[in-house]
C-alpha cells in the first residue's frame, strides 16, 4: 500500500509510562475475548467450519505433543499437566459441545469456542472441589491454545522478539513486562490496563513509553504500521502524517534531553530552598533494578516488591534461592536501607503455575498477606530468607495488605517463630529487624493508631489505597478517569495515617505511584510526609521540584484543598501557585 493510501488515526488511552517513541508496530496477540467476532455461517459451509475447528484442535494437540517430546523426564509434574491437557482436547464438554454449537447456531468456530468455554467456567464457578476447579482452569488453557490456531496467532514469548519494535498487545501481564529485553522494545501499547496497574509500574521503571487501555489498539493496528507512542499524554498516532511526525520527533528530542538534564542533578540532596530535607528512595521489583535506583540518586530502596521473583517460576523458590537474591540487594545498597516487602502475590500478579484457581474479584481475594497466612510454609520460607539476608546489610521488613490488628498479631507470631527456628539452626540472621506495614486498605487507616502500637513504621501504598477507598479497579480502563489521587477522601485517609504515626512516634513513608507525580508533591509535603519512595525514573523530577520550592510556599495548602472539594480545582491551584517552578514552568511542559 502506498503511503497516501494509509490514513492517520489517533487513539486516546491511559498514560502508562511517560516518554515518546516512534517505530514499527509488532502485534503479539489478538486473542482477547473482546476481539473475537461472531458471524453466521451458511448451512452449506458448516462442514467446512467444523473442519476448520478440528484442524485447529489437531494443530494445538501437535504443539503440545512436540513440547512433551522435548521435555526432560525430570520435569514430572509439568509432564503430567501437559499429558492431562492432551486428553482435554477431545473432551466431550469442550470438543463435541463446540461442534454442536457451530451446527445448532450456524456460527463461526471462534464464537462457539468462546461461549462453550465461558459456560464451562460458569458451571465450575460455585464448585468447592479443588480438583474440579483446577480442571476448569485446564480446559480454559486448552481452549486458549485452540483459539490461537483459529485466529491465526500463536503464543509468542516476549523475551524472544528479536527486532526493535513497539509492542502492541491485548494485554500484557506484569510477569510478561518483566521479561522485556530493553534493547528490543521501544514502547508498549495495549487494549486493556488501567491507572497504576503493575504493568504500568514496570514500564515506568524500565523507562519505556507506554499507553494502556486503548480498547481497540489490536484491531486498528497492523504489523509494521508506523506508530507514535506519547506515553506522557496517553495518546498513540497510527500511520502519522508528515507534519505530525515532525512535531513528535521534536517533542521526543525535548523529552529525552530534559531527562538527561534532570539526571545530571539527581545526586544532589532533596532539600528545599529553605533547608528542609526530604528522603527519596526507589521502588524496585527485581535485583537488576538496583543500578537504576542508585543512578537516580535514591537514598535507599523504600519498597522491594518481592513477588516478581515468583511470577515466572514453575515452582516456589527455595529459602536459599531467595536468601541469595535478598543478600545481593542488601550488599549492593549497604549501608543504605532496603525495605523488603513480603509476597504480594495474586490480585493482578498471578502465577498460573503456582496458583491456578480463578477468583471472581481477585483484588478482594486471597492476595498478599492473606495468601501468606493461608500458606504459612511459603511465608516462613520467605521470612527466613529475609531475616538471614538482613545480617548482610540494612534491611527492613514490610508486610502488605494488613487489614486488622488481629491479622498483624498473627503475622508477628509467625515472625517470632521464625526467629526461634533460625536461632536453633545457628545461621547468621538479624533478630530485631525493623517491622512495618503497608497502609493501603481503608480499615488499616481507620485502625492506624492501634496498628502503630505494634510496628516501627507505616508505608502508605496509594495505588491500593485509592483502589479500595474509591472502589476503582486499578486495572480497569473504563474507570481509569475516576482513579484520582487528589480525591479528598484519599487525602483525608492519608492525613489520618500521618497523624496516627506522628502521635505514636513511628515513621511514615509513602511508596505508591502518587509520590512520583509532581502535581501531588506540594500537598503531600505540607501534610507532613518527609520520606517518599517511588519509581526510580521519577526521582530526578521530584528532586528538581523539591529543590526549587521554599517550604513557606506550602503553608495552608491542605486546608485550601479541603475547602475546594474537587480534584481538578486542587490541580489548578497547585499549577498556578508553582507556575514559576519546574516542572510546572511553561517551558518545561512537553
Q: Closest distance between Mg ion and the C-beta of residue 455, in Å? A: 17
Interatomic CA distance for residues 102 and 416, integer angstroms: 60
Interface with ligand PEP, residue 187, by CB under 6 A? no
Task: Give the CB-side neighbour count of residue 292, counting CA atoms within 13 A.
Answer: 19
Q: Which stretch in 68-76, 302-310, 460-468, 513-521 sits in contact with Mg ion by CB under 5 A?
A: 460-468
Q: Candidates 19, 209, 461, 540: give the one binding ligand PEP (CB under 6 A).
A: 461
Question: Of 171 and 464, which has the nearer Cβ to Mg ion?
Answer: 464
Q: Which stretch in 121-129, 223-231, 292-300, 456-464 sits in contact with ligand PEP by CB under 6 A?
A: 456-464
Residues in the chain: 590
Interface with Mg ion, residue 440, by CB under 5 A? yes
Interface with ligand PEP, residue 512, by CB under 6 A? yes
Q: Which stretch in 77-85, 140-148, 173-181, 458-466 sits in contact with ligand PEP by CB under 6 A?
A: 458-466
Cα end-to-end span (Å), the chain: 33
Q: Closest distance between ligand PEP and the C-beta of residue 571, in Å? A: 20
Interatomic CA distance for residues 450 and 159, integer angstroms: 46
Helices (H), 437-538: 442-446, 448-452, 462-470, 488-504, 521-527
Q: Closest distance between Mg ion and the C-beta of residue 444, in Å? A: 11
Question: Of 234 and 461, which has the nearer Cβ to Mg ion?
Answer: 461
Interface with ligand PEP, residue 305, by CB under 6 A? yes
Interatomic CA distance for residues 325 and 388, integer angstroms: 11
Place of cell 532496603: 338
Q: Candidates 173, 346, 462, 484: give the one binding ligand PEP (CB under 6 A).
A: 462
Whether a cis peptide bond, with omega within 30° of 0, leads into 523 is no
Q: Closest distance between Mg ion and the C-beta of residue 279, in Å? A: 20
State the binding partner of 511 from Mg ion, ligand PEP, none, CB within 5 to 8 A by kind.
ligand PEP
Q: Candidates 464, 473, 517, 531: give the one binding ligand PEP (CB under 6 A).
A: 464
Q: Closest distance between ligand PEP and the C-beta of residue 453, in Å? A: 23
State the binding partner of 15 from ligand PEP, Mg ion, none, CB within 5 to 8 A by kind.
none
| 21 is a catalytic site residue | no
Q: Closest distance between Mg ion and the C-beta of residue 395, in Å? A: 20
State the binding partner of 476 from Mg ion, ligand PEP, none, CB within 5 to 8 A by kind.
none
DSSP state of 178: T
The DSSP line for 89-127 is TT-IIIIIHHHHHHHHHTB-HHHHHHHHHHHHHHHHHT-
| 267 is a catalytic site residue | no
**Residue 90 dihedral angles phi and psi, to the nearest 5°:** -110, 20
Interface with ligand PEP, residue 210, by CB under 6 A? no
Q: Candidates 176, 464, 473, 526: give the one binding Mg ion (CB under 5 A).
A: 464
Q: Closest distance between ligand PEP and the C-beta of residue 388, in Å? A: 24
DSSP state of 36: P
- With vertex at residue 12, the alpha carbon angle to CA 8 and CA 17, rounded to the nearest 5 degrees, is 115
Interatomic CA distance for residues 157 and 176, integer angstroms: 8
Helix (H) or strand (E) holding 82: helix 76-88
Interface with Mg ion, residue 461, by CB under 5 A? yes
According to CB under 6 A, which residues from 358 to 377 bind ligand PEP?
none
What 3-state class would DSSP assign to 341? Answer: strand
- With vertex at residue 94, the alpha carbon angle to CA 92 and CA 97, rounded to the nearest 5 degrees, is 75
Interface with ligand PEP, residue 473, by CB under 6 A? no
Per-residue CA distances from 278 to 525, 533, 551 (Å):
9, 11, 11
Residue from 21, 85, 98, 198 carrying the catalytic annotation: 198
**Residue 24 dihedral angles phi and psi, to the nearest 5°:** -85, 145
Q: Using CB under 6 A as the criterion, which residues of the chain lie in contact with ligand PEP when the complex forms? A: 303, 305, 344, 440, 461-464, 511-512
Instruction: Name the residues annotated as catalytic.
Output: 198, 511
Amino acid at each position: 500500500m502506498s503511503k497516501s493510501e494509509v490514513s492517520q488515526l489517533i487513539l486516546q488511552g491511559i498514560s502508562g509510562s511517560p516518554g515518546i517513541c516512534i517505530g514499527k508496530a509488532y502485534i503479539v496477540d489478538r486473542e482477547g475475548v473482546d476481539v473475537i467476532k461472531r458471524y453466521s455461517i451458511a448451512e452449506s459451509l458448516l462442514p467446512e467450519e467444523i473442519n476448520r475447528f478440528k484442524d485447529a484442535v489437531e494443530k494445538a494437540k501437535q504443539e503440545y505433543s512436540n513440547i512433551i517430546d522435548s521435555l526432560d523426564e525430570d520435569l514430572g509434574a509439568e509432564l503430567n499437566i501437559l499429558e492431562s491437557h492432551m486428553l482435554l482436547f477431545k473432551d466431550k464438554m469442550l470438543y463435541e459441545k463446540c461442534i454442536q454449537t457451530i451446527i445448532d447456531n450456524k456460527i463461526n468456530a471462534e464464537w462457539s469456542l468462546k461461549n462453550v468455554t465461558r459456560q464451562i467456567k460458569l458451571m465450575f464457578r460455585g464448585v468447592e472441589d479443588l480438583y474440579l476447579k483446577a480442571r476448569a482452569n485446564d480446559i480454559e488453557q486448552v481452549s486458549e491454545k485452540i483459539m490461537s490456531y483459529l485466529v491465526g496467532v500463536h503464543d509468542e514469548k516476549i523475551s524472544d522478539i528479536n527486532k526493535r519494535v513497539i509492542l502492541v498487545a491485548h494485554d500484557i501481564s506484569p510477569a510478561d513486562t518483566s521479561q522485556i529485553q530493553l534493547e528490543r522494545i521501544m514502547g508498549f501499547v495495549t487494549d486493556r490496563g488501567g491507572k497504576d496497574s503493575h504493568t504500568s509500574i514496570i514500564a515506568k521503571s524500565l523507562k519505556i513509553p507506554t499507553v494502556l487501555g486503548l480498547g481497540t489498539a489490536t484491531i486498528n493496528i497492523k504489523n509494521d504500521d508506523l506508530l507514535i507512542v506519547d506515553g506522557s499524554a496517553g495518546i498513540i498516532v497510527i500511520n502519522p502524517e508528515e507534519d505530525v511526525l515532525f512535531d513528535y520527533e521534536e517533542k521526543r528530542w525535548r523529552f529525552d534531553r530534559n531527562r538527561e538534564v534532570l539526571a545530571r542533578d539527581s545526586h544532589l540532596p532533596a532539600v528545599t530552598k529553605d533547608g528542609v530535607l526530604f528522603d527519596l528512595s526507589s521502588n524496585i521489583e527485581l535485583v537488576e533494578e538496583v543500578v537504576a535506583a542508585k543512578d537516580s540518586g535514591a537514598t535507599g530502596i523504600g519498597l522491594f516488591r518481592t513477588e516478581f521473583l515468583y511470577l515466572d517460576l514453575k515452582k516456589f523458590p527455595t529459602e536459599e534461592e531467595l536468601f541469595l537474591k535478598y543478600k545481593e540487594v542488601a550488599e549492593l545498597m549497604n549501608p543504605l536501607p532496603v525495605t523488603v516487602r513480603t509476597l504480594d502475590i495474586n490480585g493482578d500478579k498471578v502465577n498460573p503455575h503456582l496458583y491456578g484457581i480463578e477468583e471472581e474479584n481477585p483484588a478482594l481475594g486471597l492476595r498478599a498477606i492473606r495468601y501468606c497466612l493461608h500458606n504459612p510454609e511459603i511465608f516462613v520460607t520467605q521470612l527466613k530468607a529475609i531475616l538471614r539476608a538482613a545480617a548482610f546489610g540494612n534491611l527492613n521488613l514490610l508486610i502488605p495488605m494488613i487489614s486488622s490488628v488481629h491479622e498483624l498479631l498473627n503475622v508477628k507470631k509467625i515472625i517470632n517463630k521464625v526467629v526461634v527456628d533460625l536461632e536453633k539452626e545457628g545461621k547468621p540472621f538479624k533478630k530485631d529487624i525493623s517491622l512495618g506495614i503497608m497502609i493501603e486498605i481503608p480499615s488499616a487507616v481507620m485502625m492506624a493508631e492501634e496498628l502503630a502500637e505494634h510496628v516501627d513504621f507505616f508505608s502508605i501504598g496509594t495505588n491500593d489505597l485509592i483502589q479500595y477507598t474509591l472502589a476503582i479497579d486499578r486495572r480497569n480502563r473504563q474507570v481509569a478517569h475516576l482513579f484520582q489521587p487528589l480525591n479528598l477522601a484519599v487525602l483525608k485517609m492519608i492525613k489520618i495515617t500521618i497523624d496516627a504515626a506522628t502521635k505514636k512516634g513511628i515513621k511514615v513513608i509513602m511508596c505508591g505511584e502518587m509520590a512520583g507525580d509532581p502535581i501531588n508533591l506540594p500537598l503531600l509535603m505540607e501534610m507532613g510526609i518527609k520520606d517518599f519512595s517511588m519509581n526510580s525514573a521519577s526521582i530526578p523530577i521530584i528532586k528538581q521540584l523539591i529543590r526549587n520550592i521554599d517550604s513557606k510556599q506550602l503553608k495552608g495548602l491542605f486546608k485550601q484543598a479541603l475547602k475546594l472539594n474537587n480534584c481538578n480545582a486542587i490541580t489548578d491551584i497547585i499549577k498556578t501557585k508553582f507556575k514559576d517552578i519546574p516542572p510546572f514552568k511553561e517551558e518545561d511542559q512537553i
